[in-house]
A and B are shown apart, each in its own frame.
Chain A
Amino acid sequence: MAKVQDTIKRMASLQGIMMILVAAIMLAATSVIQSYYARRGLLMEAERRAQRELTITQLRIENVTRPVETAVMNTAWMVQMNLNNPDTLQTLLRNVLDTNPVLAGAAVGFIPDYYPEKGYWFEPVVTRRGNEYEDMVLGSTTHDYFKLDWYEYPAVTGENYWSEPYFDESAARTTVVSFASPVKDQEGNLVGVISADLTLEWLADLLRDLQLYPDTYSKLESAGGQMIVSPPAERVDNGTVNYSMPIESTGWNMSVVIPRSEIFRTVNRLSMMLGFLQLMGLILLGMIAFKSVKDQSKLESVRSKKDKMDNELRIARGIQMSMVPKQFPPFPERKDVDLSATIVPAREVGGDLYDFFIRNDKLYFCIGDVSGKGVPAALVMAVTRSLFRTVSAHEKSPQRIVSSINESMAEMNDSNMFVTFFCGVLNLYSGHLHFCNAGHNAPILLSESVERLKVLPNLPLGVMPEMQYVEEDCYLPAGSSIFLYTDGITEAENASREQFGERRTIETLDPALGVKENQERILAGIEDFVGTAERSDDLTMLIIQYLGADKSSETRRNLVLRNDIQQIPLLAEFILAIAEERHLGKSLAMNLNLALEEAVTNVMLYAYPKDTEGEIDIEAVLKENSIVFNVSDSGKPFNPTEAPEVDTTKSLEDRQIGGLGIHLVRKIMDDVRYARKNGRNILTMIKNI
């Protein structure tokens, strides 16, 4: 049973775990899918935003670089126009700076010895110093511009050139990129290179505006891979997405770097929140599942406990009910007694009992009530009933039956339970009732009136082993009844806690009615009285109606004796029982005993040779007005009736010693007959009563 319960519990908890697991997997799967699509969407969104921002920035950069390029190329043309006037060149350069605030300076480097009077190097320079311009002419062995990129590339290729960033130490003294363009004369020959230096702060400012996400940063690289605008030094590229865009005119490459965590910040937060909610949900689900499993197992255990209790009650009830006779009328063939009994069970099992049986035309009966309830009471009840049957099988006296049961019970009474018990033996021939009470309620006698039978209380069974019980007796007139009951009847309570009581019991019983009718009257009376109140005790009653001796019936009693003179005293008991049963007088009993003894002694002396084994069957047929004794044996043929009549008038001298036996038989009995049947001697003696 416990094993099954464990299995159920295990299975139930397994089910709970499975349920949570499935829910968790479903939630995780939806989370993953949802997260995947959310991330993809966010990534696409980030890319779109990056492209847009990059395009805007590109335009903003070109808004600066293109005018620079245009201004430089225009100035190159202006320089061509003024080649003859080298000292005005700085004015031209100043104009370039004026129109392009981002330029830190501008210069024109002429080819070697272009103006012979100016020397090998000639490079007029204008540098912005705050709001002023500083004019310089550079070019020397220490500042050999022919070797610098901005000069060399346009000079060699004849094309415009955006230089790599470099630190301009001679003029601007800051990091710059230069835009350089070849300067030609009107014939198209190269005469020099014009360059303008762009400071880089404005680029940094522009790129700083490229803040798509809080932690986004951007960088700008030159065509040669040098950093024009560097990312913050502390940045570590860990899980980032790069979007880049070239700036075609300058050959630069601009890129924006977005940490993935920034792109997915919302989705991550959402995931976290969702995850948290899901976890809470799962925990809740788990708790519900666990609780339901626990509830279920609790329910199971409560149910099984209740089942067990119900089962025990059923067993107890079964014990109780199987121990009492339930067939009514129990002796349909008998005309001298009628009997009805019942135990109406209450919700709780009590230890009520009744029992009865007839032996040798005597009704042995008892009623009892075990203290306590439930299985223990039912067991004690079963023990009591068994003791009653065992003891009364060989005891005829209620006092000895009660004493014997009491001794047995008191000896083994460890649980201090006791039994109120009433035992009676009713002689169905005479109506003579012997009874012995052991602390039970006095029965009610229904004869001309209905009243309590006068009964000594004594002590209940199982209280005191040495208790001396007192036997009492009375005569039941023909037609009278005796009503035995347990206190469940008189203590039946109605809703206002009044008891049915002995007075109502007595008033309910009707001496004119039979046992069945009186039983039903009592049950109906209690039912009416109790109403809806719950019955707490069994209703147990036993009603016996003595209808008077059945004169038409005949009863047989048998005794078997061995061929042994010492068996003779058994005859006395046999006759005594019959005499008691039939209420025969003491003298008649003695005479019958004497006649029977003489008959049996004759068999022992004459039918069975000395020391042979044999049996003598004695049968007494009790009829209304007579008793017929049949004494039979399987010895050699012997007919005592053939013996000559003893003359009792003879004088002492003439009197024979023998022959007295059969003489006494003849004297006592009304008829004596002998027959030899089936190899047996049968002596039939009839005594009219």
Chain B
Amino acid sequence: MEAKITDNKAVITVELIGRLDTAAAQELSEKLLPLQEKADRTIVLDCSQLNYISSSGLRIFLALRKAAAVKGGKVVVKSINDDIRTVFMMTGFLNLFEIEA
């Protein structure tokens, strides 16, 4: 699992590459914790290269989303594949996030 964070003032892009399982989520959670402070901005979670996500990963997404809601920013989930879209659907996340193609 790899996460590339690009901060260009207006938008913070997080490029997620690989499998986001429970083991990977622990690491990612720490890495993305500072972003909760910057949740007043737009955070784009680029999932074009993400091919797996479990509930631990979803929790990280949800935590960011909640922080954004508090800070007045927004979280955009970008380019999820069909399998992950199914997971989003099963968990009701499709309704919680702004999904971008």
Contacts and interface: CB of A to CB of B under 8 A. Distances in A.
A568 B83 contact: no
Interface in A577-617: 586-587, 590-591, 593-594, 597-598, 601, 604
B52 A668 contact: no
Contact of B63 (A567, A646, A657, A663): A657
Task: Describe B's contact surface by its main secondary structure.
Answer: helix
B99 interface: no
Contacts of B17: none
A38 to B, nearest CB: 120
B54 A569 contact: no
Contact of B58 (A569, A586, A660): A660
Contact of A664 (B19, B62, B69, B90): B90
A574 to B, nearest CB: 13
Contacts, number: 76
Interface in B48-101: 51-56, 58-59, 62-63, 65-66, 69, 82-83, 86-87, 90-92, 95-96
B90 A668 contact: yes
A565 interface: yes
A658 B66 CA distance: 14
A653 interface: yes
Given A601-B54, A655-B62, A657-B59, A648 B21 contact: no
B23 interface: yes
Contacts of B58: 660
Contacts of B56: 601
Interface residues of A, number: 32
A351 interface: no
Contact of A569 (B21, B59, B95): B21
Contacts of A586: 83
Chain A CB within 10 A, most for which of B26, B59, B90, B96: B90
B6 interface: no
A587 B55 contact: no
Given A565-B26, A597-B21, A601-B55, A652 B65 contact: yes
Given A587-B86, A652-B69, A655-B96, A660 B55 contact: yes
A568 B55 contact: no
Contact of B92 (A568, A593, A604, A649): A649
Contacts of B26: 565
A443 interface: no
Nearest to B23: A568
A668 B90 CA distance: 9
Contact of B19 (A566, A569, A652): A569
B66 A652 contact: yes
Nearest to A567: B23
Nearest to B56: A601
Given A569-B21, A652-B65, A652-B96, A587 B52 contact: no
Contacts of B54: 594, 597-598, 601, 661, 664
Given A598-B55, A646-B91, A663-B55, 17 more contacts: A568-B22, A571-B21, A572-B21, A572-B52, A590-B51, A591-B83, A594-B53, A597-B21, A598-B54, A601-B56, A648-B91, A648-B92, A652-B66, A657-B63, A660-B55, A660-B91, A664-B91
11 contacts: A565-B23, A586-B83, A590-B52, A594-B54, A601-B22, A604-B22, A648-B95, A657-B62, A657-B63, A663-B91, A664-B90
Which are the 6 A-B pairs with shortest beta-carbon distances?
A648-B92, A660-B55, A667-B90, A568-B23, A661-B55, A601-B22
